[in-house]
């Protein structure tokens, strides 16, 4: 696992800590974890079609491409918009779901992945929602 992180101002945070991410994903091979390095906020890839309707803020995204390389991005969110209970829920519930999804995607045959498989984690202000999408 490769891990990179940017420093944030005190008014912002990531959905979970670097220590928690390393503990959850350290044994997942071919995974790059980037906290704000590839962008502080989420935007859809221009090639994506059938985008989910988002009600809140995307706090994390995971992607697996045809080369069976995985990327997990965490995005910055304002502290007042993401309470501690949300971070606890992300760590306890969402992180295991992301891990399971990544492992199942990376176990697939190279020819079974037609494009880029993507998983988005959205925070609505009340709960996390997970969206799956695919694009070429």
Q: 75-130 pLDDT, tens per residue?
A: 999 999 999 999 999 999 999 999 999 999 999 887 777 788 999 999 999 999 99
**pLDDT score of 66 more than 90:** no
Q: How far apart are alpha carbons 75 and 53 in whole angstroms?
A: 18
> Residue 10 and residue 5: Cα distance in Å, rounded?
15
Do 39 and 74 contact (CB within 8 A), yes or no? no
Measured over the CA atoms of residue 37, residue 43, residue 49 and residue 50, the dihedral's sign is: positive
Confidence band (pLDDT; 50, 70, 90) for 69? very high
Q: With CA atoms as reference, report the closest residue to 80 among 5, 10, 6.
A: 10
Length of the chain: 136
Does this model's pTM top 0.85? My answer is yes
Q: Domain residues of the chain, as ranges?
A: 2-135
Encode pLDDT of 2-53 as tens digits.
999 999 999 999 999 999 999 999 999 899 999 999 899 999 887 777 789 9
């Amino acid at each position: 696992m490769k891990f990179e992180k940017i420093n944030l101002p005190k008014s912002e945070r990531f959905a979970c800590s670097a220590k928690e991410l390393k503990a959850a994903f350290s044994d997942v091979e071919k995974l790059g974890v980037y906290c704000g390095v590839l962008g502080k906020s989420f935007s859809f890839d221009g090639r994506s079609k059938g985008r989910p309707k988002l009600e809140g803020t995307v706090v994390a995204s995971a992607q697996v491409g045809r080369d069976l390389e995985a990327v997990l991005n965490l995005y910055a969110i304002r502290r007042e918009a993401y309470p501690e209970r949300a971070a606890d829920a992300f760590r306890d519930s969402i992180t295991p779901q992301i891990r399971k999804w990544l492992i199942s995607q990376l176990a697939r045959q190279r020819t079974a992945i037609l494009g880029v498989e993507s998983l988005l984690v959205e925070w609505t202000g009340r709960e996390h929602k997970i969206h799956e999408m695919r694009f070429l």
